[in-house]
Amino acid sequence: MTVRRYPKERVIIAAMLILLICKGFSWAAASLPTEALQRDFPQLPFESLRPSPIKGIYEVETDNGIMYYAPEASCLIIGNIFSRQGENITRQRQEERILKRAQTLPLAQALKLGGGQHTVIEFTDPDCPYCRRAAQMLAGKENITRYIFFYPLSKASADKVRHILCASDPVAAYKESYRGGLDNKPLQQCDAAAVQERMKIHREQGRRLGVEGTPFFIIDGHIVTGADLPRIEKLLETPLTKR
CA dihedral defined by 78, 80, 84, 87, rounded to 10 degrees? Answer: 160
CATH superfamily, domain 104-242, is: Glutaredoxin (3.40.30.10)
Alpha-carbon dihedral sign for residues 168, 172, 178, 180: negative
Which pTM was predicted? 0.79
Return the domain boundaries, the chain. 8-101, 104-242
Q: Is the pLDDT of residue 60 over 60?
A: yes
CB 101 within 8 A of CB 208: yes
Give CATH for domain 8-101.
Answer: 3.10.450.70
Long-range CB contacts for residues 166-174, cutoff 8 Å, separation at least 24 = 166/190, 166/192, 166/195, 170/111, 171/111, 171/113, 174/111, 174/113, 174/148
Question: Would you list the DSSP string of 210-243?
Answer: T--SS-EEEETTEEEES--HHHHHHHHHS-GGG-
pLDDT score at 23: 52
pLDDT digits (tens, 9 = 90+) for 140-179: 898 999 999 999 999 999 999 999 999 999 999 999 999 9
- Count of CB atoms situated within 10 Å of the CB of 90: 22
pLDDT digits (tens, 9 = 90+) for 178-196: 999 999 888 878 889 999 9
Q: Is the pLDDT of residue 19 over 90?
A: no
In three-state secondary structure terms, 146 is strand
